[in-house]
Amino acid sequence: MPRPKFDDVEVDGTQVDESASDRVLFHVIATRAEIGDLPVDEAWAALAERYPDDVRLRLLAIAADVDTNGVRDPEWLVSVMQSIAPTIDEASRPALSGLVAVAFEDLGPENALRSRARALVANWPKSATEAHRALRALETKVLVEADERTRGGRPWGERAAERVAEVVTKPNAPPRPYSPTEAYERGDRLVHPKFGEGVVLGAAEGKIEVAFGDERKRLVARP
C-alpha cells in the first residue's frame, strides 16, 4: 500500500508546531520531515491528545515515542498497553504485538513487566523485523485514511472538548507569569507573553499542555 505524501500541504517551517491542522501533522509524519520545531513523535503525540478515544493514534504515538526516546517508564508503558488492548480492533492487533515486542525486547522472559506485556498479545512476532513491519503497516493504513479524511482542511474526527473552567484548581488565585524554568501542575493558570492567559491541562516529561482559549500549546517547563 503506497504511503500518501500530502503534497497539497504548503507549510512555512517556522510556523508549524503541535497546534497545526490535522493534515499538516499527518504531512510531517508521512514525509518524516522535522518541520519547524516539530519532530515526528511530537506530531503523533499532538494527534493522540486531540483524539484520545482513537486507540490507533494512541498506539502509534507511543510507538513513535519509544522509537525516538526508548522506554523511559516501563511500568507506565505496560499500563497504557493494558488500557489499549481490550478496545483495539483485530486488524490493528498485530501492531500492538509489534509494539510490545519492540518495547520489551531487552527484557528477559522472566521479567515480571515483560510477562504482563506478553499476556496482552496472542502472537509474539518472530523477529524484530516482523514487529517493525506490523507497526509500519498500521501507520501506512492510518496515513492513507487520513489523506482521504483530512482533505480540504477537514479534521480527522470530532475533537474531544475539555471544559477548561472545570480544570482550574484555584479560580480566585491570580495567574502566574509563564517561565520555562518554573514547574506547573494541571489546573494552574498562567500568563504567556505571546499567547495570553491559559490553563494547564497536563504536565509530564518537562512539557506542559496549556489551553489558550480554543488553542492548545505544548510548552517547556521544569519537571
**Rounded distance, CA 57 to CA 98, Å?**
15
Answer whether residue 192 shows pLDDT above 80. yes
* Contacting residues for 141 by C-beta, under 8 A, at least 6 apart: 1, 91
Question: pLDDT tens digits, residue range 146-168?
Answer: 999 998 888 898 765 556 777 78
* Helices 55-69 + 93-104 axis angle, to 10: 20
Q: Closest Cα to residue 6, out of 137, 136, 134, 142?
A: 142
Q: Which positions ≥6 away from 86 have C-beta within 8 Å?
A: none
Domain spans of the chain, in order of start: 13-153, 164-220
pLDDT of 98 reads 92
Return the C-alpha cell found at 139: 501507520
DSSP letters spanning 159-204 = PPP--HHHH-S-TTSPPEEP-TTS---TT-EEEETTTEEEEEEEEE
Among residues 17, 97, 93, 32, the alpha carbon closest in space to that of 68 is found at: 32
CA–CA distances in Å: residue 15 to residues 11, 12, 159, 218: 8, 6, 22, 14
Query: What's the pLDDT score for residue 80?
Result: 86
For the record, the C-alpha cell of 14 comes out as 517556522
pLDDT of residue 13: 54
Looking at residue 157, the DSSP 8-state letter turns out to be S
Q: What is the pTM of this model?
A: 0.70
Confidence of residue 9 (pLDDT cuts 50, 70, 90): confident
CA distances from 186 to 69, 72, 195, 199, 218 (A): 24, 22, 18, 8, 13
The position carrying cell 483530512 is 150
Residue-wise pLDDT for 35-52, tens only, equals 667 889 999 999 998 888
Mean pLDDT over each residue of the chain, to the nearest integer: 85
Show the cell assigned to 141: 493504513
- Quick one: DSSP state of residue 2? P
Residues 6+ away with beta carbon under 8 Å from 181? 222
Between the alpha carbon of residue 162 and those of residues 94, 131, 204, the distances in Å are: 32, 35, 18
